[in-house]
Structure 1
Amino acid sequence: MKHDSSPLAMTVPRLAMSLTKVAIALDVSPTSVMQMVEEGLLPRPRVWRRRKLWRVAEIDAALAEWPTDGEQQGEDGEPGRWDAE
């Protein structure tokens, strides 16, 4: 897909991102993103046909639940785990 740098494209909010873009946004590899999903630290992607997309709002909500540096772990000994429920 070609990157659109038109003024309109720059004002349209991004609602969802591909695996590659999530990895870039988090400054990690796509493999690390998938590990975070499997560990429950990030939500699973939404699926349309064969395309997988992560909602930006869900990524943001998940990150807000992560512990900050120096914060104690939860009662179960695990850092904050993201859960849509």
Structure 2
Amino acid sequence: MKAERGNSLPLNLPPRGLSRTEAAAYVGVSPTLLDMMVKDGRMPKPKHINSRTVWDIRKIDKAFDELPGGDPDEENEWEFSA
């Protein structure tokens, strides 16, 4: 999150709603990939507040948790087994 957002939130408190660019950066993808993930249901659809389009950070967190990979019980395709 950029400090120059022009709001009064403390720097350690992320905003609840993220822009498209911020939402993409938050999950580590490009805005174009975020769009594809929204379209195929891997990421949540944004909310519309007047003329603004914002993603709910809590819904992004939930969707990110549900993405495959990173689960200790899942097989690691990159792990070398002898």
Say whether the fold is shared (TM-score over 0.5). yes
Q: How many residues align?
A: 71
Instruction: List aligned pairs for 1:42-81, cutoff 5 A.
Output: 42-68=43-69, 71=74
Per-residue deviation at 1:8?
A: 5.3
CA RMSD of aligned residues (A): 2.9
Q: How many percent identity over aligned positions?
A: 31
For structure 1, the residue ranges without an aligned partner over 5 or more in a row are 73-85
For structure 2, the residue ranges without an aligned partner over 5 or more in a row are 76-82
Q: Any idea what the Cα deviations from partners look like across 1:19-55, whole Å, max 9, x if unmatched?
A: 0101111222111100000000000000011210001
Distance 1:29 1:21 in 2: 10
Instruction: List aligned pairs for 1:2-41, cutoff 5 A.
Output: 3=4, 9-41=10-42
Q: Which protein shows a greater Rg?
A: 2
